[in-house]
Structure 1
Amino acid sequence: MLGLALASGFFPQAATASGFTQGQSVREEPPTEKKAVRFGAKLGVNFANMNFNQGFPKPVTPIETTWKTGAVAGFFLQIPLLPKLSLQQEYLFSQLGAARTSTATTYRLRYLSLPLLLQYKVLPKLAFVAGPQFDLLLQATARTNGATTTITHDTEERSIGATAGLSFYITDHISLDARYLQGLNHIGIGQRSDVLEFKHQMVQVAAAVRF
């Protein structure tokens, strides 16, 4: 008993330090939160044009067109790369087209659109997006004087473009997106003896929901 009392008297600091060390060992650092891949859906409207004056060869007489509206809808995957940088792959049904003034012809082109975008958060609620877009033609029609003709087989199937825009985050799950698309390749339309080429132009406004 005397020995225990002496030990307690001579080594109080050691006992306290031991208890403090044990207390420290119980504490655990909170795990680092990792951002997961997110899935989302979007719905919006396209304002599209077919610029025949950017075709090759350029028409001798400039071809006037007017922009037409169409729907866009689909889903996407958002993959985080860095704290402010992510990769966004979209799978969209997209309606493009234009109206040719001289012939009173309205073109409607429906695509499976595959934008592959990098998204960078410049502000907590604002992100810049940019990347290529690949389009595969599903259906094409031309309407003249009330008569509609299917011209899918007379229209080049693939379109490649570059797109850029902004995403404004209303909440962490809901955003409003606005972007511009410029077609890069020449798209032929018409019969072999009468082929015109054009490039797509498009402004897209859409709402997106992330889960």
Structure 2
Amino acid sequence: MPETESAQRVKQFVADEPPGEKAAVRFGARLGANITNTNFNQGFPKPVVSVETTWKAGVMAGFFWQIPLRKNLFLQQEYLFSQMGGAEKSTGTTYQLRYLSLPLLLQYKPLSKLAFVVGPQFDLLLQAKERTNGTTTTITHDTEERSFGATAGLEFYITNGFSLQARYMQGLNHIGIGQRSDVQEFKHQMVQVATAIRF
């Protein structure tokens, strides 16, 4: 027995999808810039004297996939190469850290051109260097390998396949640098601007 038009509308409402439209898994690429800080004042134990730091710029690039959960709600997993770092003003030491970054985000799209993203970000250290008085030293083995943070941001869709993005990430765990007897700790802070292409 064929369904009535009313029954079809009820099913459509429950499914929460526009008539004749079915969302699909999408893949894409991201490219952008990170502006980051190694905030030693958020380390543990907190330094007796405040550490003045400078934000540094780096690049970010990678790809992602996006799974529709409901209308206007998506799960997005990203795989990024990400440069982070910062500098201590008092010592003139600059830190350069390279990570494999793995944000796992929920994207809510209340408007066709605007979306909000929020979720955790996991980072695995690939390489760490410090530069002091013109001398660069590799400190990968003396630096905490894992970083964990919380990310939130906005995304503006120029077209259905191309968007501009802005995010902020606050590190949640302490990143230790140095030998066990003389460890400095900090938390990452990051502002990120990027473009994304969806296929």
Q: Return the TM-score normalized by structure 1.
A: 0.84
Provide the residue aligned with 2:175 in structure 1: 187
- Equivalent residues in 2 for 1:156-167, closer than 5 Å: 156-167=144-155
Taking the aligned partners of 1:171 and 1:68, their CA distance within structure 2 comes to 31
The answer for the alignment partner of 1:22 in structure 2 is none
SS in 2 for 1:81: strand
Gaps of 5+ in 1: 1-30
Report the Cα distance in structure 2 between the residues aligned to 1:36 and 1:122, rounded to whole angstroms: 18
Deviation by residue 1:122-149 (Cα, 9 ceiling, x = unmatched): 2110000000000000000000111100
For the residue of structure 1 that corresponds to 2:70, the secondary structure is coil
Q: So what's the TM-score if we normalise by structure 2?
A: 0.90
Residue 26 of structure 2 corresponds to residue 38 of structure 1: yes
Among residues 108, 111, 117, which one is paired with 2:96 in the alignment?
108
Q: Deviations over 1:69-112 (max 9, x none)?
A: 00000000011111100000000000000011111010000000
Find the aligned partners of 2:24 and 2:65 in 1 and give their Cα distance. Answer: 11
Mapped to 1, the partners of 2:165 and 2:139 lie a distance apart of: 31
SS at match of 1:87: strand
User: C-alpha root-mean-square deviation of aligned residues, in Å?
Assistant: 0.9
Kindly, what percent of the aligned residue pairs are identical? 78
Gaps of 5+ in 2: 1-18
Q: 1:33, CA displacement in angstroms?
A: 2.7
- Residue 58 (structure 1) aligns with: 46
Residues matched between the structures, number: 181
Give the whole-Å Cα distance in 2 for the aligned partners of 1:203 and 1:156: 21
Deviations for 1:42-83, whole angstroms, at most 9, x for unmatched residues? 100000001000000001111110000000000000111111
Give the structure 2 partner of residue 6 of structure 1.
none
Give the secondary-structure state (helix, strand or coil) at the position aligned to 1:153: helix
Q: Which has the larger radius of gyration?
A: 1
SS of residue paired to 1:111: strand
Q: By how many angstroms is 1:34 displaced? A: 1.5
**What secondary structure is seen at the aligned counterpart in 1 of 2:141?**
helix
Residue 5 of structure 2 corresponds to none
**2:72 matched residue in structure 1:** 84
Instruction: Confirm whether residue 68 of structure 1 aligns to residue 53 of structure 2.
Output: no
Give the corresponding residue for 2:190. Answer: 202
More helix, by proportion: 1
Amino acid at match of 1:195: V
Residue 32 (structure 1) shift: 3.5
Give 3-state SS (helix, strand or coil) of 2:41's partner: helix
Match of 2:140 among 136, 147, 152: 152
Work out the CA distance in 2 between the residues paired with 1:181 and 1:131: 10
Looking at secondary structure, tell me which structure has more strand per residue: 2
2:38 alignment partner AA: M
Q: How far apart, CA to CA, are the structure 1 residues paired with 2:138 and 2:175? A: 17
